[in-house]
Amino acid sequence: MSNEPLSDQKLLKSDSLRNSRRGLITTITAIAALVVVGLVASFLVIGNAAQTVTTTQVTTVPSTTTITDTASNVSSQQINAEQIYASSNRSVVTLQGTQVQNSNFGNQVASVLGSGFAITYSGSNYIVTNYHVVALTSNLTATFSNGDAYSAKVVGSDPYSDLAIVSVPSAPSSEFVPLTLATSSSLRVGDSVVAIGNPYGLTGSMTEGIVSQLGRTIQDETAGNYSIANVIQFSAAINPGNSGGPLLNANGQVVGITTAGYTSSQGLDFAIPSDTIIMELNSLITTGSYNLHSYLGISEVDMNYQLAQATGANVTYGVLVESVVTGGPAANAGIQGGSQTTIVNGQQYLIGGDIITSINGTRITTSDSLGTYLSEHTVAGQTVSLGIIRSGDKYMTVNVTLGARPTISS
């Protein structure tokens, strides 16, 4: 699964094939009340399925923000959903607004419904939500659990992490019941979690589940079809309108922000990890953006036994580089893409390229692990050492200076 945008028809076709193997991701924003000549309909924001830190730069969050890394032994605790709901529900808000969308009927106005939750940063109150909830949204309002509603505005956003920070200037501080951000690095598969949000406008709805897996990658068109990496997969049910709501651990602390789910599935949902929020929070609030996402410039697919047989490779793990972006970091470092098309198990692949098996000495087994490493441990401008297999059995290391992803206009 590629972690880069697709720059030509060949890459687009190749990525489309990989997407079909992974399924379709739906961002969980309810877009409803489409009005044109009296016609009313409901829509979902649809994205494609897919895929930063020993960093050289780490953002320090002021101590006035409630953040804790003391979520130890949470996995051994039996979750008390009733208690968590009682202490957290008032922190969740409903975000609404309108978007102008293009269709076969021309420009149409759709109402947007999503969720968010309150935090306190450096003495000020904010709402955390998803980028896709508020992107291109006009007439934004925030409604608190007691029904009080106020005009809201976006302070900062990052489409590459599907994050946004919203302020509600006219709301008194008494409306805000801030949640605590815990480090998501303490999560383990099997940990109990709950999600609170406003599915289909049903405010204050809670569902319970477990962490199904960590380090997933998803891809959404609002992120320019770049991958959103290091995502939490969980089983608590979410639906349109849940986007932007908190994912809470057994202590009632935020470990993620619900963002997407597979269509036509049950219990296959995703959340942006709280560590991403913590890393970006200062930049989003003080500068309005976050611009340190690293960029490798490749289109790749996961290796497996069948691909190893087809390519003559001596490894069955890692990622096969199908294409490199001309002038991109990987291409400039000499990483090679594929040159021959082949069919394996009914799927088309571009073979003959390098196979990435490690980065800075860390074993890379899949596109998920590559994207997660880049997200957690690198920033733009950093040089990394890639371990690669070339021509099937020649191991070598290549130093690559990572680029920065381009700015996506809202």
- How confident is the model over 4-20, as a mean pLDDT? 31
Answer whether 15's CB lies under 8 Å from 217's CB.
no
Q: Give the C-alpha separation, 289 to 89, whole Å.
A: 28
Q: What pLDDT, on a 0 to 100 scale, did the predictor assign at position 61?
A: 40
Considering 158, 162, 269, 302, which one is annotated as catalytic? 162
Question: Which domains does the chain show, CATH number per domain?
Answer: 9-68+80-287 (2.40.10.120), 294-403 (2.30.42.10)
Residue 386: pLDDT over 50? yes
Q: Give the C-alpha separation, 61 to 42, whole Å.
A: 39
- How confident is the model over 247-273, as a mean pLDDT? 89
Nearest of 145, 136, 77 to residue 110 by alpha carbon: 136
Buried b (16+ CB within 10 A) or exposed e, 7-18: eeeebeebbeeb
Considering 115, 132, 274, 375, which one is annotated as catalytic? 132
The predicted model scores a pTM of 0.78
What does residue 303 show for φ and ψ, rounded to 5 degrees?
-75, 155
Considering 243, 294, 369, 375, which one is annotated as catalytic? 243
Residue 361: pLDDT over 90? yes
Q: Let me know if 69 is a catalytic residue.
A: no
Name the residue type at position 243. Answer: S
Residue 45: pLDDT over 70? no
Can you tell me which residue has the tokens 């269709």?
103
Q: Give the C-alpha separation, 297 to 2, whole Å.
A: 9
Q: What angle do CA 243, 247, 248 make, to 5 degrees?
A: 155
- How confident is the model over 234-261, as a mean pLDDT? 93
- How confident is the model over 239-267, as a mean pLDDT? 89
Answer whether 248's CB lies under 8 Å from 196's CB.
yes
> Which 8-state DSSP code applies to residue 60?
P
DSSP conformation letters of 201-260: G-TTEEEEEEEEEEEEEEE-GGGTT-EEEEEEEE-S---TT-TT-EEE-TTS-EEEEEEE
Q: Give the C-alpha separation, 380 to 387, whole Å.
A: 19
How large is the greatest C-alpha to C-alpha distance in the chain, in angstroms? 66
The token duo for 113 is 């419904």
Q: What pLDDT, on a 0 to 100 scale, did the predictor assign at position 205?
A: 94
Q: What pLDDT, on a 0 to 100 scale, did the predictor assign at position 69?
A: 55
Pairing of strands 340-344, 347-351: antiparallel
Spell out where 14-146 has E strands: 24-35, 43-48, 67-68, 92-103, 106-121, 124-129, 138-143
Residue 138: pLDDT over 80? yes
Q: Give the C-alpha separation, 281 to 304, whole Å.
A: 38
The string of pLDDT tens digits covering residues 295-305 is: 999 999 999 99
Residues 6+ apart with CB under 8 A from 347: 17, 21
Q: What pLDDT, on a 0 to 100 scale, did the predictor assign at position 329?
A: 96
Q: Let me know if 368 is a catalytic residue.
A: no
Residue 351 DSSP SS3: strand
Residue 205: count of CB within 10 angstroms of its CB: 22
Nearest of 368, 364, 309, 301 to residue 337 by alpha carbon: 301
Residue 162: count of CB within 10 angstroms of its CB: 29
Q: What pLDDT, on a 0 to 100 scale, did the predictor assign at position 108?
A: 82
The token duo for 374 is 């880049």
68 confidence band (pLDDT: 50, 70, 90):
low
- How confident is the model over 379-395, as a mean pLDDT? 94
Q: Let me know if 243 is a catalytic residue.
A: yes
Q: Give the C-alpha separation, 186 to 182, whole Å.
A: 8
Answer whether 310's CB lies under 8 Å from 349's CB.
yes
Nearest of 175, 171, 177 to residue 91 by alpha carbon: 177
Residue 26: pLDDT over 60? no
